[in-house]
Each structure stands twice: as C-alpha cells, then as structure tokens.
C-alpha cells in the first residue's frame, strides 16, 4: 500500500510547460537550456511535436520566423532540417525581403527528432498528464494541479495547450468535444483561467482531408520538386544527399465548385454550427467558393506526409463539410478523380486567451509568472507557435533568474512584430505571419537573421559558443568582402566589357568599384567574381595592384572551401554580400526610419501609469491604454483607437514627469 504523502517533499520545478506541441517543445527546451529545472506536461507523450495539420514548416513570413528561432538557439529550424523530405526557397525571383524557405517534412521523423532533442536535455523532464488548474496565490503563479490531484510547484508556468482548451470538433452538422480527432480535450483549464480573471475567446481552425497516394493520377497534375541544391533553415545543418519527394499541384475546377455550392448549406459556416472565427488566410474550400464566386479555380497542393506513409495532405481543400461531400469535392478535381479518403477533414473550435491581456514578455498581466504561448494566444501555424514558445520559455527562465524579460522590437525581428501585434492590437481571427505585417521587412530578412539575433541567443546561452564564433566569422567575412569590393576598382577594358555584355549589362566607360557594379540588378556575385578575374588579368598587364588584392581574397575564399562550416555557408556568404550590396540604399533608408521612430520605442511608460488623470486624450484612448498598458510610447501609438494627437499629449506628459 502507498503511504499518503504528508508535508515536506513537494515536487518543485523552476519552470513548468503545459503542452507538448510546437510551442511547448520550444518553451521547454529553451528554459532547460538556460539552466532551469523544467517539466513539460502533455496529455499524451506519444504525440509530442505532432504536426496535426500540414506536413510543412516555413513559407513566406513563417520561414523568417523559423530562421529567427534558429538564430536565437531554438529547435524548430534544425529539427526541420533533420526531418525534411523537400526543401524549397520561395520567391527567388522577388526581392530579398520576401524570400523564404519552405520545407515539407516527414511528420513522424519530425516528432522522433524533437523527442530526441528533449531527451538529450538533462534539466528537462516530461510527464504525461492533464492539468486541471493553476495554483495561484496573491496574483502570482505557484504551480499547477493535475486532474489526479497532484500538485507540482513552479516559479514560472508556460501554458501552450494548442486547440485543446474546450476543444470541439465540427464536421457538417456534427459537433463533439475533442482536442484533435480521436483525442479528448482539456476541459478544466479554461475555468481555471477565467477564475484568474482572464477573458477567453473562441476561434476555429480546420484541416483538410488526407488521401491515399495509390489512388491519385499524377499525370493530370504538375510535379512540384524540391530545390536541387537545397538551403537549410539552420546554418548548423549540413547538406545531405537525401532523396527529395515531390509534391503535386492541381487545381479545382468549375465542377469542384459546383459540388461545393450544391452542398454548401451543409457546411458549418452556413449552418452556424461553428461559433469560433476561422483563419482568414487559410480559408476552407467552402469559404473560398462562397467569397470568390468569380474565381474558376483554386490551387490544390498534394503534399506527402512522410517517406514511409501513403497519406497525402490536400493543401487548399480544407473543409468541414460532411465526409460524403468531402469525397465528392475531392473527386471532382483533376488528378483526384479516384482518390480514396484516409482521414476526413474537420474543423476544431477552441478557447483562446485574448492576447491583449499579456505583456510583451508573454506574461499575463493578471498572474505574475504565468506565460502563454501558441494557439492559446489566438495564432495559427507551427512557426508562430514555436516563436512564441521560445520567447515564453526564455522569459519564464529569465524570471527565475530574476532578470529583465527579453523583448524583441519590431525593427529587430518578425518575432517582435508577432508579439507586439498580438499584445497591442489583439486578434479578431487566428493570427498568421506575413511579410506585410512587418513595416521594416527589408531589414528583417531571412539572410540577416543571425546578425540580428544570434548575439541575443548567445548571451542567453542558447546559442553555443562554437556556433556563435562561426556566425561571427561569417559576419566578418561578409564585411571584409563588402569592404574589399568597395575598394576594388574595375577598369574599363576589352575583356571586362565583353564579359559585361555577355551578362546582359552595359559596358564600363570609366573605372568603377566592384561594389557599384554589384548593385546592377543583372549582375550576380558570381558575375562580379568572373569580372574581377578578367579585370585582374587585364590589370596584371598594366601592373594594377588593387585588383590583385581582391583576386587573392577570392582565392582565399576558394581555398577555405574545405573547412566544415564553409561548404553550405559559402553560398550563404555570397548571398549576404549580394543583398547588402544591391539593396544598400533601401536598407539605409529603412534604418533611418527605424532610428526616427526609435525615440518613441524607447520612451517607456511606467507599468502603473495612471491614465485616468491624463487630460486631453479621448475616452476611447484612455480605455484602451488602461486595458493594454503599453510598455512604450511606440507600442501605445499602435493601439487601434489611440490617435497621433493622444500620443502627443502622452509624450508631453511623460516628458514633464
């Protein structure tokens, strides 16, 4: 028989993370790596890092988040690199601000690899269990209580429960409680959050049907292969020779839309059986047909879910129509006429915490030491979840250390944009990252993420020394190279002009720096290297020395190719140099804009500021400011309903204090 535990031995951790999804894993790893004794609690340990929806990471906006997570020492980027089945750089034909990496992943491998990362962390424990309530005393978190009555104490708690809070699956007119299909929801925690005075909202998300790869006709679709020489999310990843698996692209037709229209009255969005608001940017086929009646086709990407499974994900055919209608919709689409359903699509409705109740550290204002991350804050997407998870984990750990929270500004990181948007503007639909959300996107690029954030990650000891040194080396290389190019003068000459002509560029009439030449849109860094060799040959005839020096620089580059970090990173350095050179003017202008606004961002508003006594601002502004409690004048200026006039008043008042 078990003796009842009396007083004394209380199980205690520094940080408890509730949830083992993408936000939870990132949170738990960060806190543990920062030296906190950390416990990750999840309903089912078999489902850690599960990708319940699309088998992909990255994309425009999201890919930048994943790269930033890596630069801060998070796991998502590396884990994706370990688990990919296809890599693709998107928007290579467009400007550098919107270029982004996207990976198809092997779902099961992704879980396995993330579990291994968790198991490798000595300060990180895992526990299968359901949290029933938060243990709060004097507005400060003390720990959690499990449904079995166990108490576990903690200094900080991160909640990352995804779609499980009062989760409700909706298919056609059917509604039943579930966190995901086949899994029970978390029913008690919402109540506990409300008890702490937190206001909850209701959102909805949906996932498309999965079909059997044996039942599709690829001849009727366009093959969509990965990049032949794939880039990686993490500079730490080494290239491998793994065989990539193609996706396939097909389009819905008028016939598909006809089927949807015929049965639209059965869709939850028509019957009203979904009460939560869905993601605008990932609309179901039901909604697309309804909202865009003139469009005669919508793309459907047919994506493999792994190397060892025949399940295919139908990106673009998200639906929560009745299953028998789902089959008709799929089968009305070219390439999918014989498609056999393996998992029906469904919608899931869940509670989220209205994120304007959080501070920029992701700590709730109501309960000190309670942090929220991921879908519980009204976002959608693994990348958004992981980014918040990482930040919540870092800040939960910093709180244990008694240090100031880490807050990334909007001009520092997409992560900063994400959190500032959530906290300052709130959400009225599931939030998804886009490059258009970042006003400073030209300086928040995929390629410069390490320069922006690795010093932060290193200071937190999340980025190991060796990797940081490597990043520093790269940074110096890029600088040296840019300086070298600026110093190198290319003389007009027959050989040089021939080469320019071949590259489709106008000829040189007077000497110009290599950097100036690189700014020409039609010339790549490789063209410049070639040009410099040509120039060097010509210069040697005329005993020029500057070009020789640059030539040596180029030779050194080539000679270093054998060092382990260089091979994947050589092209990265080239890309960095090219972007910095070509977009120098735009980047400089954006930097000016950043510094112009800097004073607003740096004018702090005391946490206990009394807006009630502030004369001259509108009632609406007073209400909003009191509720959101912005940390700075900059944040205050982004609150909807707070006008520039209100900001001026506030600025004058703060100055006077």
Residue numbers of the site for other proteins (CB under 8 A)? 1-5, 9, 11, 37, 43-48, 50, 108, 111-112, 115-116, 118-119, 122-130, 146-152, 171-172, 174, 176, 178, 181-184, 210, 212, 308-311, 322-325, 327-328, 340-344, 346
Quote the least distance from Cβ 32 to other proteins, whole Å.
9
Quote the least distance from Cβ 151 to other proteins, whole Å.
7
Q: Do residues 172 and 31 make contact, with C-beta atoms less than 8 angstroms apart?
A: no
Reduced to 3 states (helix: H, G, I; strand: E, B; else coil), residue 96 is helix
Reduced to 3 states (helix: H, G, I; strand: E, B; else coil), residue 286 is helix
Alpha carbon distance 344, 342 (integer Å): 7
Quote the least distance from Cβ 276 to other proteins, whole Å.
19
Alpha carbon distance 113, 205 (integer Å): 26
Identify which of residues 5 and 461 has a Cβ nearer to other proteins in the complex: 5
Identify which of residues 115 and 519 has a Cβ nearer to other proteins in the complex: 115
Give the residues across from 352 on adjacent strands: 201
* Of 331, 374, 366, residue with least CA distance to 350: 374
Q: Do residues 175 and 253 make contact, with C-beta atoms less than 8 angstroms apart?
A: no
Quote the least distance from Cβ 86 to other proteins, whole Å.
19
Both tokens of 452, joined, read: 């922006």
- The distance from CA 205 to its chain's CA centroid, rounded to whole angstroms, is 18
Both tokens of 108, joined, read: 């099961």
Both tokens of 105, joined, read: 């992943």
Identify which of residues 303 and 601 has a Cβ nearer to other proteins in the complex: 303
Alpha-carbon dihedral sign for residues 232, 238, 239, 240: negative
Both tokens of 310, joined, read: 């025949």
Quote the least distance from Cβ 5 to other proteins, whole Å.
5
Matching residue, tokens 């990181």: 413
Q: Do residues 79 and 26 make contact, with C-beta atoms less than 8 angstroms apart?
A: no
Quote the least distance from Cβ 348 to other proteins, whole Å.
13
367 class by beta-carbon count within 10 Å (0-12 exposed, 13-18 middle, 19+ buried): buried
Strands (E), 276-363: 299-304, 311-315, 341-343, 346-353
Identify which of residues 210 and 477 has a Cβ nearer to other proteins in the complex: 210
Identify which of residues 209 and 630 has a Cβ nearer to other proteins in the complex: 209
Identify which of residues 48 and 72 has a Cβ nearer to other proteins in the complex: 48
Quote the least distance from Cβ 401 to other proteins, whole Å.
18
Quote the least distance from Cβ 440 to other proteins, whole Å.
40
Identify which of residues 128 and 559 has a Cβ nearer to other proteins in the complex: 128
Residue 202, CA atoms < 13 Å, CB-side half-sphere: 11
DSSP-derived secondary structure letter, 74: -
Quote the least distance from Cβ 174 to other proteins, whole Å.
7
Quote the least distance from Cβ 48 to other proteins, whole Å.
7
Both tokens of 647, joined, read: 């900001």
Quote the least distance from Cβ 218 to other proteins, whole Å.
17
Both tokens of 254, joined, read: 């008028």
All residues at 6 or more sequence positions from 527 whose CB lies less than 8 Å from its CB, including other chains: 499, 503, 505
Query: How many CB atoms sit inside 10 A of residue 139's CB?
Result: 14
Matching residue, tokens 């006003």: 439
Quote the least distance from Cβ 87 to other proteins, whole Å.
23
Identify which of residues 59 and 155 has a Cβ nearer to other proteins in the complex: 155
Alpha carbon distance 265, 255 (integer Å): 17
Q: How many residues does the chain have?
A: 657
């Amino acid at each position: 028989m078990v003796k009842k535990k009396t007083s004394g031995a209380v199980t205690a951790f520094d940080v408890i993370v509730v949830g083992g999804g993408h936000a939870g894993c990132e949170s738990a790893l960060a806190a543990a790596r920062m030296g906190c004794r950390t416990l990750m609690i999840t309903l089912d340990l078999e489902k850690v890092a599960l990708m319940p929806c699309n088998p992909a990471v990255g994309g425009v906006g999201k890919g930048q988040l994943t790269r930033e997570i890596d630069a801060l020492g998070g796991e998502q980027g590396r884990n994706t690199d370990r688990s990919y089945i296809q890599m693709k750089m998107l928007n290579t034909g467009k400007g550098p601000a919107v270029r982004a990496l996207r990976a198809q992943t092997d779902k099961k491998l992704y879980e396995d690899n993330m579990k291994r990362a968790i198991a490798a962390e000595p300060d990180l424990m895992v526990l299968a269990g359901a949290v029933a309530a938060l243990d709060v005393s004097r507005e400060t978190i003390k720990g959690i209580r499990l449904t079995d009555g166990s108490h576990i104490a903690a200094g900080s708690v991160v909640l990352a429960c995804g779609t499980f809070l009062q989760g409700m699956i909706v298919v056609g007119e059917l509604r039943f409680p579930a966190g995901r299909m086949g899994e029970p929801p978390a029913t008690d925690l919402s109540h506990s959050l409300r008890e702490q005075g937190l206001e909850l909202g209701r959102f909805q998300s949906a996932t498309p049907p999965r079909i059997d790869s044996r039942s599709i006709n690829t001849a009727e679709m366009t093959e969509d292969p990965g990049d032949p020489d794939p880039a990686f999310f993490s500079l730490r990843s080494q290239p491998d020779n793994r065989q990539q698996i193609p996706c396939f692209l097909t389009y819905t037709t008028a016939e598909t839309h006809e089927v949807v229209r015929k049965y639209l009255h059965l869709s939850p969005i028509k019957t009203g059986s979904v009460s939560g608001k869905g993601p605008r940017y990932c609309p179901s086929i039901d909604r697309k047909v309804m909202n865009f009646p003139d469009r005669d086709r919508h793309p459907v990407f047919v994506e493999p879910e792994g190397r060892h499974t025949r399940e295919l994900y139908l990106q673009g055919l998200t639906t929560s129509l009745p299953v028998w209608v789902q089959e008709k919709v799929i089968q009305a689409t070219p390439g999918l006429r014989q498609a056999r359903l393996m998992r029906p699509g469904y919608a899931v409705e869940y509670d989220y915490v209205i994120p304007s109740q959080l501070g920029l550290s992701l700590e709730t204002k109501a309960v000190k030491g309670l942090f929220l991350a991921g879908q519980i804050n009204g976002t959608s997407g693994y990348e958004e979840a992981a980014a918040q998870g990482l930040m919540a984990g870092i800040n939960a750990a910093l709180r244990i250390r008694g240090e100031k929270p880490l807050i990334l500004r909007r001009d520092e990181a997409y992560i900063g944009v994400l959190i500032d948007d959530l906290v300052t503007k709130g959400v009225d639909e599931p939030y998804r990252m886009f490059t258009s959300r970042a006003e400073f996107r030209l300086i928040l690029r995929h390629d410069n993420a390490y320069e922006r954030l690795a010093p932060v990650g290193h200071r937190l000891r999340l980025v190991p020394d060796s990797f940081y040194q490597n990043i520093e080396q790269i940074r110096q290389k890029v600088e040296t190279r840019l300086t070298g190019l600026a110093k190198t003068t290319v003389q007009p000459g027959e050989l040089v002009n021939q080469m320019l002509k071949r590259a489709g560029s106008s000829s040189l009439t007077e000497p110009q720096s290599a950097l100036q030449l690189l700014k020409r849109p039609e010339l790549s860094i490789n063209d410049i290297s070639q040009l410099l060799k040509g120039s060097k040959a010509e210069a040697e005839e005329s005993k020029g020395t500057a070009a020789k020096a640059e030539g040596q620089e180029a030779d050194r580059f080539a000679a270093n190719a054998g060092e382990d970090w260089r091979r994947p990173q050589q092209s990265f350095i080239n890309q960095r140099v090219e972007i910095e050179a070509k977009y120098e003017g735009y980047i400089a202008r954006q930097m000016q804009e950043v510094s112009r606004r800097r004073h607003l961002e740096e004018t702090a508003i005391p946490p206990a500021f009394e807006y009630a006594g502030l004369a001259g601002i509108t009632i609406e502004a007073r209400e909003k400011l009191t509720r959101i409690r912005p940390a700075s004048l900059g944040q205050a200026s982004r609150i909807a309903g707070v006008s520039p006039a209100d900001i001026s008043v506030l600025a004058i008042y703060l100055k006077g204090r």
